[in-house]
Amino acid sequence: MDQSIKAQFDEVAKEYDYQRHLLIPCFHEFYGTAVEWVHTTKQKPRILDLGAGTGLFAAFVQQKYPQAEFTLIDLSEEMMKVARLRFEGSEQVEYIAADYTNYNFEHKYDIVISSLSIHHLTHEAKQGLFHKVHELLEEGGSFVNADQAAGSSPYFDLAYKEKWEAQIGKGELTEQAVQSAIERRKLDKNATVNDQIAWLKNSGFAVADCVYKNHEFAVFASFKKEERRTDL
């Protein structure tokens, strides 16, 4: 992953959680839907969070599965410091400061989650990662990715960008924070919903879909087995 991305997220680590509420206009629906699709019948599942950042998504999932064992991996050491404070005292959380695209994981997992990270990868790297995630999952495992998605055409990409900039400019963020967020977005490499679904299926997932979308913000759910959900 690009080191310039690491530097930008190191810089914003301490304010990241506060800003995320303001930078994602659909914050509650976005994360709420993602957590809803994280599912297992195991009492103590093993869960991997790719690009975990401050551990925000993992914390939401922990509320649903309090006995779960988490592995949080992120390139930014500063983000990992915030995550350690969030889960301070918990023996169920492991921290890895590394690039998840080339890290050799020691275990398989029941669930892999990620939020607002994979869109930083090139499209080729995204496809390679989806194959890696499929291999990392136990039989019957699932992958929930709450991320960004490109519009189906440049017209929609521009419209989404303009709407997002207008929305974040009306909130509590300082002008400096707004401009910093806009600058970080220049590093994004968003892929379309259809491309990401196709890549997930090509990686071996039995079923995959976009289960939520609000402009650029999208939640993808993928399963190694096609099993009927009774909890939705």
Strands laid side by side in the 46-50 sheet: 93-97, 69-74, 46-50, 109-115, 137-148, 217-223, 207-214
* Mean pLDDT value across residues 195-206: 98
Question: What tens digit of pLDDT does each residue of 87-104 get?
Answer: 998 999 999 999 999 999
Confidence of residue 173 (pLDDT cuts 50, 70, 90): confident
Question: What tens digit of pLDDT does each residue of 36-52 get?
Answer: 999 999 999 999 999 99
Supply the pTM of this predicted model: 0.91
Confidence of residue 11 (pLDDT cuts 50, 70, 90): very low
The reported pLDDT for the residue numbered 16 is 63
Show the DSSP H helices in the chain as ranges: 3-12, 16-23, 27-37, 56-64, 77-86, 123-136, 154-168, 175-185, 193-202
CATH 3.30.499.10 fits 3-223, yes or no: no
Question: What tens digit of pLDDT does each residue of 112-129 get?
Answer: 999 999 999 999 999 999
Question: What tens digit of pLDDT does each residue of 202-218 get?
Answer: 999 999 999 999 999 99
